[in-house]
Amino acid sequence: MTEFLQLDLPPLLAALLAGGVCGLLGSFLVLRREALLGDAITHAVLPGIVLGFAVSGARSGLPVLLGAGLAAMLAAWLIGQLRTRARMEGGAATGIVFTGFFALGLVLLEVTGARSVDLDVDCVLFGQMETLLWPEATGLSSLIDPVALAALPHGLWLLLGVAALAGLTVAALWRPLKLLCFDADYAAALGLPVRRLEAALNLLVAAAAVAAFEAVGSILVVALLVAPAAAMRLLTRRYLRQVLGGAALGSGVAVLGYVLAGPLPMALGGVTVNAAGSIGVLAGLMVAGAALVRRARLSRRCAPAPG
Amino acid sequence: MILSHNTLIVMLGCALLGVAAGAVGCFALLRGRALMADAMGHAALPGVVGAAIVSALMGWDPRALPPLLLGGTVAGGLGLWAVQGLSATRIIRQDTAIAVVLASFYALGVVGLSVVQVLPGVAQAGLSHFILGQAATMRAEDAWAAGALALFCVLAVLALFPRLTALCFDAEFAALQGLRVAWVDAALLGLILLVCVAGLPAVGLVLVVALLVLPAATARLLNRRLPGMFATACAVGGASGLLGAMISAGHEGWPTGAAVVLVGVAFFVSALLVRGR
């Protein structure tokens, strides 16, 4: 039990929270046809993360979040500028901005000497879920011991904070967000602050990207953002099911992915694999499965009448 | 700066890659296929890893590039097929499909890399360089292999130039004139795939899409007509590849992909400023 608390509980919690918050926000991205922007934001936050880390030395603290938020806003603004001023097509503009930011982030990683045990290229590419540990856990009693709890990895607290913020925001803005997803023009005509809602969503996605970054790395955050939402889109047309289902699927696939990557192989005496990768593969399979389920449903509906 | 023979070959290979990326990128941009390069590049990773495992099991040199490129091409092709398949549901938009495919295939590659770590004989360090590119550790024979693939792409684009032009500017009219639009579209996607795969060792899969988009976008800003745009894109692409490789060869810690992209961004921004006047 102690070993479980020390080694497995933190990554499991990270998976649960990261998957949940990304799955939740991802539904809005997918409904608004902005999966691409989600991809872009997760890459574009890298220079912000690196600078925040260089300034504060902490991989999951306020400077990193601030840096990421600023980077995300700057990237979104630049994409807009390229589309309007340079008349560039959306995909190309997005591609240029997010790769440019990501490249800058990689160079900054090198130049600021941020390359260390705590933040290096491997962390960016593969995540470091396996490094989340809770050595202070001594038994079940640690779960209610404030001293031990305070020693949980900072990344978990950040995830918890961002998840709470995202959950509260979505709950508070339920109706406006729904309108924004389905008829932005009507929402604007009603007087809703569409631009500000979009900005709020983008910032939440950036925060989620930073919080989940430690668990699954920059590139695989995209999997958690887009795949659960895409799978739900294939399975339902109801908004509530889409949004809540996305969060649930995100948590589920992340937890299952972690278990299949580490604890299960170890119990069976096999070789462990990278947890973030395992989650990403599972997420993809989930979407494929949802597509097949949908095809089966459709063909049942359209099946010719007997006789 | 004294350049060794090896470095010179690698730089030339990167320059040639840049030219190919500029050439293919022109049509990719015009046809709105730029982001497929992102999907195919990321999707290639599990193929590269799988090919390395097969090479090691067969007793070949797992670092030899041609089998790795072949594996990457197969996997990238599967990624393309997956994107088309998901988009065909009509519920999932193409960019959502691209995001799902790129992340999940990449994830498979990451899983493969972690497995490969425990297999003797497979130089895992060499494989992770495919993610961000590393000209500094490329060997001359790698540059030859990638360079040959890039050269093939340039020649293919030149051979298909009139058809690609027709495809991009008025596919319907061209179809009426007898152009097999589906074939030319497929050929373009195939060329995008090949350029991405050729770019893996030098520039890496994450940033190869930028190499396809940036020179073409820069050229678009500076040229009104396609022949001029094409020539500019090839020139800018080649220069980006060359300069990026030079910078990265000089700084061991700088991934080549990052250096090439930043050079490309510099060209792009310059073009923006020039046009602004």
Q: Tell whether the model's pLDDT for residue A303 goes beyond 70.
A: no
First to last CA, chain A: 61
pLDDT band at B5 (very low <50, low <70, confident <90, very high): confident
C-alpha closest to that of B208 among B7, B28, B6, B9: B28
Chain A residues whose CB is inside 8 A of the B106 CB are 219-220, 280
List, in sequence order, the alpha helices (H) in B117-225.
Answer: 124-132, 140-169, 171-176, 181-203, 208-222
Calculate helix-pair angle for A275-301, B94-116, nearest 10 degrees: 140
Domain holding A181, by residue range, is 2-301
Supply the CATH number for residue A79's domain.
1.10.3470.10
Q: Say what the pLDDT of residue A122 is.
A: 78
Alpha-carbon gap, residue A304 to B50, rounded angstroms: 44
* Encoded tokens for B205: 């899969």
Number of domains present in the structure of chain A: 1
pLDDT band at A227 (very low <50, low <70, confident <90, very high): very high
Tens of pLDDT, residue by residue over B100-110, are: 999 999 999 99
Tens of pLDDT, residue by residue over B113-145, are: 888 877 776 655 578 788 888 877 788 888 888
A59 or A234, which is more confident: A234
B71 or A216, which is more confident: B71
> Percentage of residues in chain A with pLDDT exceeding 90?
37
**Residue A284 belongs to some domain of the structure:** yes
Per DSSP, the three-state class of A262 is coil
Q: What is residue A87's DSSP assignment? A: -
C-alpha closest to that of B164 among B141, B186, B194, B139: B186
Domains and CATH numbers, chain B: 5-276 (1.10.3470.10)
**Residue A306 belongs to some domain of the structure:** no
A123 or A70, which is more confident: A70
Q: Tell whether the model's pLDDT for residue A119 goes beyond 90.
A: no
Selected residues 208-247 of chain A with any CB under 8 Å from a CB in chain B: 219-220, 222-223, 225-227, 230, 233-234
B232's CB contacts (< 8 A; 6+ apart) are B215, B218, B219, B222, B223
Is the CB of residue B261 less than 8 Å from the CB of residue B212?
Answer: no
Per DSSP, the three-state class of B190 is helix
Name the residue among A35, A233, A279 with its Cβ closest to that of B107: A279
Is the CB of residue B265 less than 8 Å from the CB of residue A96?
Answer: yes
Tens of pLDDT, residue by residue over A5-27, are: 778 888 899 999 999 999 999 99
Q: What is residue A8's DSSP assignment? A: I
Alpha-carbon torsion (B35, B39, B44, B49), positive or negative: positive
> Percentage of residues in chain A with pLDDT exceeding 70?
96
User: Under an 8 A CB cutoff, do A102 and B115 touch?
Assistant: no
User: Under an 8 A CB cutoff, do B251 and A291 touch?
Assistant: no
Nearest chain B Cα distance for residue A65, angstroms: 23
**Residue A225 belongs to some domain of the structure:** yes
Q: Tell whether the model's pLDDT for residue A219 goes beyond 90.
A: no
**Residue A234 belongs to some domain of the structure:** yes
Alpha-carbon gap, residue B110 to B69, rounded angstroms: 17
CB pairs under 8 A between A and B: 184
* Encoded tokens for A43: 């890459």
Tens of pLDDT, residue by residue over B202-243, are: 888 888 899 999 999 999 999 989 999 999 999 999 999 999
B1 or B6, which is more confident: B6
**Residue A80 belongs to some domain of the structure:** yes
